[in-house]
Structure 1
Amino acid sequence: MDISVVIPLLNEQESLKELYDWIARVMQSNRFSYEIIFIDDGSTDDSWKTINELSSKDKQVKGIRFLKNFGKSQALHAGFELAKGDVVITMDADLQDNPDEIPGLYNMIVNDGYDLVSGWKKKRYDSILSKNLPSKLFNWAARKTSGVKLHDFNCGLKAFRLEVVKNIDVNGEMHRYIPVLSKNAGFTKIGEKIVQHQARKYGETKFGMDRFINGFLDLITIWFLSRFGKRPMHLFGSLGVIMFMIGFGFALYLGIDKLFLTPQGRLITERPQFYIALSTMIIGTQFFVAGFLGEIILRTKPERKRYMVKDLLNLN
């Protein structure tokens, strides 16, 4: 199979039929063999009914329905697990991603040898203050922190070699950082393609300003995980040793000063250096214990499923 199209969605009933027709037209005109995997992330409208109707007419349409809303990352993870195409394309279901970009993305993976190609919506139809400016700031911070030189980490339109999606773990809200996860997994040939951004035709956006706050917090998380996720003792242990040595240095100074320099001076407990020494030694010990516990948890944690599937379509 040439292409798997993975589409997470939440309450996008109005756009699904039009999106399917558009994708099918592109695939057939380019003679691609394909599958379309819709992941209904707990929709409360008739999205699942529409997916049922599409799958009954076309066996290439497959569906996963979550028991409730688990989030876009979990939806993508479920779609990646089931994808079989040599190239996996992800896109949003709101018609803001243009299916006509699929052949170009496919060619960059197959002919140019990229592991991942991310879309760049250079010209956007979103509000400047509510989305464009925060998005530019967010993407700048992501580039600086991760070392992945992309202009648009948030673009839902991406293409992957199959082995990439089979070897990355998308969880929490890490869908924004799939290129970073891919780089950390060893897939370093990451490209970018300018893609057309469509104005939203139906419904309203599911994301508010809070996604940028969450995005920056996730950026810190993924920086930590990429640097120290497999060795937390290297960070916490180092901080613990530094803090403990600072405290020990103050304690040593106080001891020498009291014994040899000013034996008739103030009590040690009346001097501010005493509390600095005490606090830093306690904090250093806590950092060291945190790193030790992190190593234990890392080696003993069981694998857990992060979502519950309610229904499946055409997956046999």
Structure 2
Amino acid sequence: MDFSLVITVFNEEDNIHPLLQQIDSALSGYIYEIILVDDGSTDSTIKRIEELKNPRVKLIVFTRNFGQTAAMAAGMQAAVSDYIVTMDGDLQNDPSDIPHMLRKLEEEEWDMVAGVRKNRQDGALLRKFPSKIANKLIRNLTGINLQDYGCTLKVFRASIAKNLGLYGELHRFIPILAVLEGGMITEVDVKHHPRLYGQSKYGLGRTIKVMSDLILMAFFKKYFKRPIHFFGPLGLLCFAGGFLISFYLLIVKLLGQDIWGRPLLLLGITLILAGIQFLTFGIIAELMMRVYYESQQKKPYSIKKVVTFLQPVLDPSLADGKHPLHTPKAPMLELK
């Protein structure tokens, strides 16, 4: 099998038939499976899929709507190929881009190739403008310079895709998760089509969720394995500030002035308590990280490949100096 194609669908009854037709036409000559994950559709999406009886299709049906992240995770875990491709089920991604992305992944040894919707066919105010702002914020906060984080069309090595740890609504930050796993990522331009059937499941309401997840991703990128490096400096800075203020007020008190009720006194006490709290958070977070790795037998690293250099072992019957891999021993010198 050349690859596994994972597609998440939610109320896409009118898109199923043309979607599978496009895939069949664009990927002629490839051996692949199509994993359709229905994320709790309330229309006839499941019925339309079952009507086709496509031998390539593996259908996963959720009991209710768990979200696109959970659907993608389920599809990736069900894939059996060494390469996994993800795309939307709304006909806006073009399956004809997949062969080029696969070749780039194989020939240049990337772990993930992401699509960039150069001529994006979406509304400027509600979709494209918020997306540009979000992409810029993600680049600045994480240091991972991709142009289009929102494009679902991506190609992965299964070793990376199956270990992304997709929870909540982190599918928008898959490139960051791939980098955290040690993956090498790149991007290529892909085609994008306007939506013909159904309605978009996204709007301005997701902006707050994206911002919240972005803070989490920024923390994961820099401090996930050493949270004390985040909480420790904050705690020490607050504690030092509070200590200096308290020391100054102590001197003022010894000089005979009244310090009770001063805002500066409250600030000093608050900073000392905040410093203790931050340091405590850091220690607790460090302990939780050890529980996370050790209880699940996880490792704080990932291995891409192992290379061994074995010495040839020869049949003793060939030890006559004629075998090309045989090196005769040098004669021993007798010492007198």
TM-score w.r.t. the length of structure 1 is 0.88
1:64 is paired with a residue whose SS is: strand
1:249 is paired with a residue whose SS is: helix
Q: Which of 257, 282, 288 is matched with 1:265 structurally?
A: 257
Cα distance, 1:69 vs structure 2:
0.7
Q: Which residue of 2 aligns with 1:147?
A: 143
Q: Which residue of 2 aligns with 1:3?
A: 3
Q: Which has the larger radius of gyration?
A: 2
- Give the Cα–Cα distance (whole angstroms) in 1 for the partners of residues 92 and 201 of structure 2: 13
| Superposed counterparts of 1:71-86, under 5 Å | 71-86=67-82
Q: Which of 54, 57, 60 is matched with 1:58 structurally?
A: 54
Q: Is the 8 A contact 1:135 1:212 kept in 2?
A: no
1:117 is paired with a residue whose SS is: strand
Cα distance, 1:233 vs structure 2:
2.3
- Give the Cα–Cα distance (whole angstroms) in 2 for the partners of residues 122 and 150 of structure 1: 13
- Residue 215 of structure 1 pairs with residue 206 of structure 2: no
| Superposed counterparts of 1:222-237, under 5 Å | 222-237=217-232
Q: Structure 2: give runs of 5+ residues left out of the alignment.
A: 297-336
Cα distance, 1:271 vs structure 2:
2.9
Q: Which residue of 2 aligns with 1:274?
A: 265
2:119 is paired with a residue whose SS is: coil
- Give the Cα–Cα distance (whole angstroms) in 2 for the partners of residues 171 and 271 of structure 1: 47
What amino acid does structure 2 have at the position aligned with 1:220?
I
Q: Is the 8 A contact 1:115 1:161 kept in 2?
A: yes
Q: Which residue of 1 aligns with 2:325?
A: none
Task: Indicate the structure whose relative CO is greater, using CA pairs within 8 Å and at least 6 residues apart.
Answer: 1
- Map Cα deviations across residues 88-111 of structure 1 (whole Å, 9 max, x no partner): 111000000011111111111112
- Give the Cα–Cα distance (whole angstroms) in 2 for the partners of residues 99 and 77 of structure 1: 20
Percent sequence identity is 39
What amino acid does structure 1 have at the position aligned with 2:188?
K
- Give the Cα–Cα distance (whole angstroms) in 2 for the partners of residues 13 and 108 of structure 1: 33
- Give the Cα–Cα distance (whole angstroms) in 1 for the partners of residues 110 and 96 of structure 2: 19
- Residue 284 of structure 1 pairs with residue 275 of structure 2: yes
Q: Is the 8 A contact 2:27 2:95 kept in 1?
A: no
1:199 is paired with a residue whose SS is: coil
What amino acid does structure 1 have at the position aligned with 2:48?
T
Q: Is the 8 A contact 2:69 2:171 kept in 1?
A: yes
Q: Is the 8 A contact 2:27 2:96 kept in 1?
A: no
- Map Cα deviations across residues 18-57 of structure 1 (whole Å, 9 max, x no partner): 11121122222xx211000001011111111222233xx3
- Map Cα deviations across residues 132-181 of structure 1 (whole Å, 9 max, x no partner): 11111111111122222211100011111121102211111111111111
Report the count of equivalent residues. 294
Q: Which of 290, 293, 298 is matched with 2:289 structurally?
A: 298
What amino acid does structure 2 have at the position aligned with 1:41?
D
- Give the Cα–Cα distance (whole angstroms) in 1 for the partners of residues 261 and 57 of structure 2: 75
- Residue 46 of structure 1 pairs with residue 38 of structure 2: no
What amino acid does structure 2 have at the position aligned with 1:132?
K
Runs (4 or more) in structure 1 with deviation over 4 Å come to none
Q: Is the 8 A contact 2:82 2:157 kept in 1?
A: yes
Q: Is the 8 A contact 1:146 1:223 kept in 2?
A: yes
- Map Cα deviations across residues 197-218 of structure 1 (whole Å, 9 max, x no partner): 1110101100111223321221
Cα distance, 1:86 vs structure 2:
2.5
Q: Which residue of 2 aligns with 1:176?
A: 172
- Give the Cα–Cα distance (whole angstroms) in 2 for the partners of residues 276 and 158 of structure 1: 51
- Residue 156 of structure 1 pairs with residue 148 of structure 2: no
Q: Which residue of 1 aligns with 2:92?
A: 96
- Give the Cα–Cα distance (whole angstroms) in 1 for the partners of residues 86 and 253 of structure 2: 69
Q: Which residue of 2 aligns with 1:23?
A: 23
- Give the Cα–Cα distance (whole angstroms) in 2 for the partners of residues 114 and 73 of structure 1: 23
TM-score w.r.t. the length of structure 2 is 0.83
- Give the Cα–Cα distance (whole angstroms) in 2 for the partners of residues 271 and 34 of structure 1: 73
Q: Which of 187, 190, 197 is matched with 1:192 structurally?
A: 187
Cα distance, 1:82 vs structure 2:
1.2
What amino acid does structure 1 have at the position aligned with 2:23?
I
1:38 is paired with a residue whose SS is: strand
Provide the aligned C-alpha RMSD in A.
1.6
What amino acid does structure 1 have at the position aligned with 2:26?
V
Q: Which of 37, 45, 59 is matched with 2:35 structurally?
A: 37
- Give the Cα–Cα distance (whole angstroms) in 1 for the partners of residues 141 and 264 of structure 2: 37
